[in-house]
Amino acid sequence: MSHPPKPAVLVVEDEPLLLLDDMCLFEEAGFEAIPAANAAEAICILEERLDIRVVITDIGMPGRMDGLSLCATIRDRWPPIELIVVSGQPRPAPSELPPRSLFLAKPYDSKQMLAALRGFATATPSQHTA
């Protein structure tokens, strides 16, 4: 008997230990977690994979694009993808977050993160439209 594919989640985090922790948490919860160390790498992955349902990104990252800019790009190019934004810095203003995104302060509660992830990943395609 074949099992349905695991929901694919792209995890964008530049701190290797935090990325590893996130990957383990999401894999153990039944997701296919795909790592990216920065926004440029995340965009390359999104261009190659059509099955990503949710992107979880830190705001502060090295490179030309931070997490908020990445979210704006995703919302423009891949509107059905859901967004979870995390940061250890002060909370961004609501106007800085793209529509249909969720902000969680670091360190986030893993139960809250998994609940949000499950809600986004199991939404039907009609629930993904703005």
pLDDT per position as a tens digit, 47-68: 999 999 999 999 998 889 999 9
Is residue 125 over pLDDT 50?
Answer: no
Distances 37 to 4, 17, 90 between C-alpha atoms, Å: 28, 11, 22
pLDDT reported for residue 124: 53
Q: Choose which CATH entry (3.40.630.30, 3.40.50.2300, 3.40.50.11290, 3.40.350.10) describes domain 8-106.
A: 3.40.50.2300
Give me the half-sphere count of Cα atoms (radius 13 Å) on the Cβ side of residue 41. Answer: 14
Decide: 109 and 86 in contact? Cβ < 8 Å. Answer: no
Q: Please compute Rg for the chain using Cα positions.
A: 14
Tell whether the model's pLDDT for residue 78 goes beyond 80.
yes
pTM of the model: 0.89
Query: Could you give the CA distance from residue 79 to residue 72 in angstroms, rounded to a whole number?
Result: 10
